[in-house]
Each structure stands twice: as structure tokens, then as C-alpha cells.
Chains A and B, each alone.
Chain A
Amino acid sequence: MIRLFAFLMMIAPAFAQETVVAGLSQTRVSITAQFQGSEILVYGAVKRNAPEPEGPPLQVIITAEGPAMPVMVRSKDRRFGLWVNTSAVQIDQAPSFYAIATTAPLPQILTETEDLRHRISIPRAIRAVGVAAENLDAPSFTEALIRIRAASGAYGMREGAVTLSQDTLFRADVALPANLTEGDYRVRIFLTRGGVVIDSLESTINVRKEGLERWLTNLARQQPLIYGLMSLLIAVVAGWAASVGFRLLRA
């Protein structure tokens, strides 16, 4: 019995389990007319059933991604002196929003294979299956997608934005911009050691339009004719009211 215990103690570091527990400051974001973006706090801790193992330090990667949808990327070229769209590539699935926060530069804390498996870095998060066969110049289209979305603030990488204290507690702020698409936003937390993911956790932020915004969106989708006529009526009434108002003002 004592021998078995000693044996277990010996191999314990190899099996030292590190798991992540985490929470979000809010799991629901309401988009109202006054919506100006939202800051979400992601916090958590590393749970261990044994002392911390030796070796490469613990690292944390947090990603937040918006609903994915297909995107058509078109490129312009000069034809007869004019710049016109000449070729196009369809990217199957690209997240509408993607933010990464890490404790250190990503290449140092995540290997290529692990990135490929978990789709963590921005290029990996975009699914462009079969694009290369469609167009020889396909990689430049994916790069363009990332460049344009990064410039508009939809995609972003903040290396060192996760604070990790005593290799146990971590926290990071994820800023959701004002130009947000409705849907389920996926937040993922990865723990890595030596570039290998040792544990991960996933949770969802529910982003929904509320109040007048919700009502208008539903009406526009479900009763488009009524919505269209209502827009028209508002325009006519507003035009008439301004005309009458100004006449009274002058009289």
C-alpha cells in the first residue's frame, strides 16, 4: 500500500491536471438605439489537483468571435483605364467579429499544429475550404479580408492583454464595438504550456437587439410591405409637417 502511494507520488507531476474555470461579466448584450459598444470582462482561475508542474510557464489565450457568414471578396484591376472588379473569391465562413487576447506573443505560446486543431489565430478562424482550387491567387484574398476587417476594428489581436497573476488567476477585457451584428458570440479560453493546449473552456454571449430596434428589425423581416409603406407614410407626414410648420413660423 505504502509502495503504491510512493509510486503514485512519483508519477503525479506527469498527470498533474490543470483545468480552467472562468466566468464572464455578462452573458447577454442588448443592442438598443443608444448602444455604443460593450466591454466584457473575462475572468477565471486555473484549478490544480497537484503542485504546479515544472517546465514552460502557463499561458492563457482568450478569443471572442461573432457569428460566421460567407463573404465574397472581390479584387479590382485596371481594364481600359478604369479600375473594375475582375476576380472574386468566396470565403465559406468568416466570423463577423474576432478578437484574441493573450498573455504573450501568440507564436511563442502556441504551436502551428495546435493552432490548426483549435482554430485560434485569425487566419485559422476563417474557413476557406477549396478556395485555393478556385483561384491561384487565393491567399491574397484571405489576407485582404483580414486586412480590411482589422482596419475596421472587427478583427484584432492584443498580445499581452491577458493578465495572469501567480500562474492561477487571470483576467482580460474584450471590447465589443458599436457596429455589432446580432447573434451568439463564442468566447473560448485556452491554457497552454510549451505551445500545447492543456485545457480549454467555451461559453456564449448572447447579443440581441432590444426594444424599438428589435421591433423594427422583426417588422422589416416579417411584414416588409407594411414596413415599406410605414416608412413611406413617415416620409410623407414629415414632409407635410415641415411645410406647414414653416408656414406657421413665417406667418
Chain B
Amino acid sequence: MQMYLPIAEVSVNIFVLLGLGGIVGFLSGMFGVGGGFLITPLLFFIGIPPAIAVATGANQVVASSVSGVLAHLRRRTVDFRMGLVLLAGGLAGSTLGIGVFARFSAAGQVDLLIQLSYVLFLGLIGALMLQESLRALRRATRPGAKPRRSHEHLLVHRLPLKMKFRTSGLYISVIPPVCVGALVGFLAAIMGVGGGFIMVPAMIYVLGMPTKVVVGTSLFQIIFITGFTTVMHATTSFSVDMALALLLIIGGVIGAQIGAQAGLKLKAEQLRILLALLVLAVAAKIALDLVLQPAELYSLTPMRLP
């Protein structure tokens, strides 16, 4: 069944969009990532214009994150205080990122900027996560191995402006979370994603937050980052397609609920290995697109008359 999308001005199959939203929603609920890094390339693939894919993808991520965060709220695994601190940095970073995005866009190099940041950050984060979770898994299976200390003194404990994050069981400086938030917000604006795939490992490895709290807190702050991005795109480039978003959302929210349940049945290490593999697969696919000679060397960008 085909449907004509009013803003994108293309006709697409409804079930393809519902399915796409469902798959991304499932992963979102399971791993606590917004799924933007999957939905945006997938929308390009089915022929949605890039600007609309980025903006509408952000809108879809809002819905799946709300659905996911509610599941986590009931389990009390959302650290609001940490979420707000991250968000403060995130909004600043996002504003800066949108400026950089516009500058590259004007120079015709925005594709390269997006692709390179995808390869670099997805590749780096994926590799780090995979290495760390494999090590953790090996430690867990080998009896008599030295368990990881529950209370390590990292850099985050030495900086000033300390704050108590009760849900996470942390007493750390607010400077690292604000910096993490800003970096994620910046990258989120450039790559058109929520930034969960960077936020989740940063929370675990840089801030030392417990894995259980990480997913809910990440989803909580993604809602606001992507909500901000959606409104920014709608007002500056009119590129949010509500009909497209609604179809993705219907698939997405259902997928997110199933994903959150599936996530409970897996161990934290297994969850991390799966997420690492997924992230690496997307990075490898984009890297290949950059290195291999494309079938069509030319691309078209229609420029609307004002």
C-alpha cells in the first residue's frame, strides 16, 4: 500500500516504513540508543531526500525514546539529575553543531562530513565497546579472577564542583558530564542522530555509571536533544515530514516496548557485545561506501526557489 508523503514529495510503501520503524524501535528499547544512526541511513536507502530523513529521523527518535524511558521509569532506572546535567551540555553542543552543519552544507561537503563522522565515531566506539565487553565476559567465565573494584577513583572524582547522583550511586564533579553532553550534542547535530551510541559508552567508561541506570538516563536526555533538533529543523529548513514521522513512530513505539522486554532477558555484557557489533557493522558499511568507487559519480541537489 503506497502513501504520498506531503513534505518529502515521494510515494512510499506504508509497510516498509512501519517495519523500518519497528526494527529501529526494537533496538532502541533493547540498547537504550535512540536508533538515529540506523534510521537516517535506512531512510536515504528507500529514497527519502537526505535533509528530510535527518529531520524526520530525529522526530521518530523522540517517540521511541519516550516509550523506552517510561519502561525504565517504572523500574526506577533513570537518573534525572545526571540527565539534566548532560542535557545542559548537550543543548550547547547541539547549537554549535547545527552551525558547523550549515557551513559544510553550503560548501557541498556535508555528505563527506556525515560519512566521516559516522565511520570515525561508530568505528571507535564500537571497537572499544567490543574489546571491553569481551574482556568482561572472559573475566566472568574464568573463576578466581580478580573482580572489578566497585569503587574506583577515576579523574571524575578529583575535579571540583562535585555533586551527588543518588540513582547512579556516584559523587562526582559535574564538569565531565557537561563535557560529555556537549560532545554528544555536537556530534548529534552533525550526524543527525540522538547520540545514544556515544552517550551509553561514555557514561559507563568515562563517568563510571552502573549499566542498569545508563540506558534509562541516556533515553531521558535523548528525548530533549532530538526534540530540540526536530523543532530547529522544522523552523529553519521545513524538513520534518509529519506523515513519514507518524508511520515510523507507530512501528517504532511498538518495537521499543518489545525491545525493552528482550533487553531484560539478556546479560549486560551480552547486550554490550551485540550493540558493539551493530555499531561496527554500520561503520563498516559507510566506510566501504567511501572507499569503493560508487556506481554513479554524480549527485543532484535540487535548489528550491524562495
Expressed in whole angstroms, the Cα–Cα distance for A112 and B2 within the complex equals 41
Tell which of B10, B59, B64, B111 touches A231, judged by Cβ atoms closer than 8 Å: B59
Expressed in whole angstroms, the Cα–Cα distance for A234 and B67 within the complex equals 12
Assess whether B257 is in contact with A243, with CB atoms less than 8 Å apart: yes
12 contacts between A and B (CB under 8 A): A35-B4, A75-B299, A83-B289, A83-B294, A182-B9, A209-B6, A224-B235, A228-B233, A235-B60, A235-B66, A238-B249, A239-B256
Q: CB-nearest residue of chain B relative to A242?
A: B253
Assess whether A240 is in contact with B245, with CB atoms less than 8 Å apart: no
Interfacial residues of chain B within 188-223, with CB under 8 A of chain A in the complex: 223
Expressed in whole angstroms, the Cα–Cα distance for A147 and B298 within the complex equals 10
Tell me the smallest distance from the CB of A182 to a CB of chain B, in Å.
7
Expressed in whole angstroms, the Cα–Cα distance for A124 and B227 within the complex equals 46
Expressed in whole angstroms, the Cα–Cα distance for A32 and B65 within the complex equals 31
Chain A residues contacting B249 (CB-CB under 8 Å) are 234-235, 238-239
Interfacial residues of chain A within 69-96, with CB under 8 A of chain B in the complex: 69-78, 81-85, 88, 90, 96
Assess whether B243 is in contact with A33, with CB atoms less than 8 Å apart: yes
Assess whether A234 is in contact with B302, with CB atoms less than 8 Å apart: no
Tell me the smallest distance from the CB of B140 to a CB of chain A, in Å.
31
Interfacial residues of chain B within 3-46, with CB under 8 A of chain A in the complex: 3-4, 6-7, 9-11
Assess whether A225 is in contact with B231, with CB atoms less than 8 Å apart: yes
Q: CB-nearest residue of chain A relative to B61?
A: A235
Q: CB-nearest residue of chain A relative to B116?
A: A82
Q: CB-nearest residue of chain B relative to A220?
A: B238
Assess whether A144 is in contact with B4, with CB atoms less than 8 Å apart: no
Assess whether A32 is in contact with B4, with CB atoms less than 8 Å apart: yes
Tell me the smallest distance from the CB of B73 to a CB of chain A, in Å.
9
Known contacts A72-B108, A220-B7, A239-B253; is-contact A232 B62 (Cβ 8 Å)? yes
Known contacts A32-B4, A33-B3, A227-B240; is-contact A69 B245 (Cβ 8 Å)? no
Answer yes or no: A166 CB below 8 A from chain B CBs: no
Tell which of A141, A180, A225, A236 touches B234, judged by Cβ atoms closer than 8 Å: A225
Q: Which 8 A-B pairs have the closest CB atoms?
A: A239-B66, A228-B234, A242-B253, A178-B11, A144-B298, A243-B70, A235-B63, A239-B67
Answer yes or no: B301 CB below 8 A from chain A CBs: yes
Given contacts A72-B303, A221-B238, A228-B231, could you give 7 more A-B pairs where the C-beta distance is less than 8 Å? Answer: A33-B6, A35-B4, A69-B302, A209-B6, A242-B63, A242-B254, A242-B257
Answer yes or no: A101 CB below 8 A from chain B CBs: no
Tell which of A37, A84, A228, A239 touches B70, judged by Cβ atoms closer than 8 Å: A239
Expressed in whole angstroms, the Cα–Cα distance for A33 and B240 within the complex equals 16
Tell which of B2, B231, B234 touches A178, judged by Cβ atoms closer than 8 Å: B2
Number of interface residues of A (CB under 8 A): 63
Answer yes or no: A168 CB below 8 A from chain B CBs: no
Answer yes or no: A41 CB below 8 A from chain B CBs: no
Tell which of B235, B293, B305 touches A83, judged by Cβ atoms closer than 8 Å: B293
Chain A residues contacting B304 (CB-CB under 8 Å) are 69
Interfacial residues of chain A within 86-133, with CB under 8 A of chain B in the complex: 88, 90, 96
Tell me the smallest distance from the CB of A121 to a CB of chain B, in Å.
20
Answer yes or no: A34 CB below 8 A from chain B CBs: yes
Answer yes or no: B94 CB below 8 A from chain A CBs: no
Number of interface residues of B (CB under 8 A): 59
Assess whether B6 is in contact with A35, with CB atoms less than 8 Å apart: no
Tell me the smallest distance from the CB of B224 to a CB of chain A, in Å.
10
Assess whether A180 is in contact with B70, with CB atoms less than 8 Å apart: no
Assess whether A238 is in contact with B253, with CB atoms less than 8 Å apart: yes
Expressed in whole angstroms, the Cα–Cα distance for A71 and B296 within the complex equals 17
Tell me the smallest distance from the CB of A147 to a CB of chain B, in Å.
8
Chain A residues contacting B11 (CB-CB under 8 Å) are 35-37, 178-179
Chain B residues contacting A144 (CB-CB under 8 Å) are 296-298
Answer yes or no: A202 CB below 8 A from chain B CBs: no
Expressed in whole angstroms, the Cα–Cα distance for A118 and B296 within the complex equals 31
Expressed in whole angstroms, the Cα–Cα distance for A37 and B7 within the complex equals 17
Answer yes or no: B291 CB below 8 A from chain A CBs: yes
Tell me the smallest distance from the CB of A80 to a CB of chain B, in Å.
10
Assess whether B7 is in contact with A217, with CB atoms less than 8 Å apart: yes
Known contacts A239-B70, A246-B257; is-contact A232 B230 (Cβ 8 Å)? yes
Expressed in whole angstroms, the Cα–Cα distance for A243 and B299 within the complex equals 42
Chain B residues contacting A201 (CB-CB under 8 Å) are none
Expressed in whole angstroms, the Cα–Cα distance for A246 and B231 within the complex equals 28
Known contacts A73-B300, A216-B242; is-contact A239 B290 (Cβ 8 Å)? no
Assess whether A84 is in contact with B245, with CB atoms less than 8 Å apart: no
Chain B residues contacting A10 (CB-CB under 8 Å) are none
Assess whether B234 is in contact with A216, with CB atoms less than 8 Å apart: no
Assess whether A231 is in contact with B234, with CB atoms less than 8 Å apart: yes
Assess whether B66 is in contact with A236, with CB atoms less than 8 Å apart: yes
Query: In this complex, which of A81, A83, A214, A244 has the most chain B Cβ atoms within 10 angstroms of its Cβ?
Result: A83
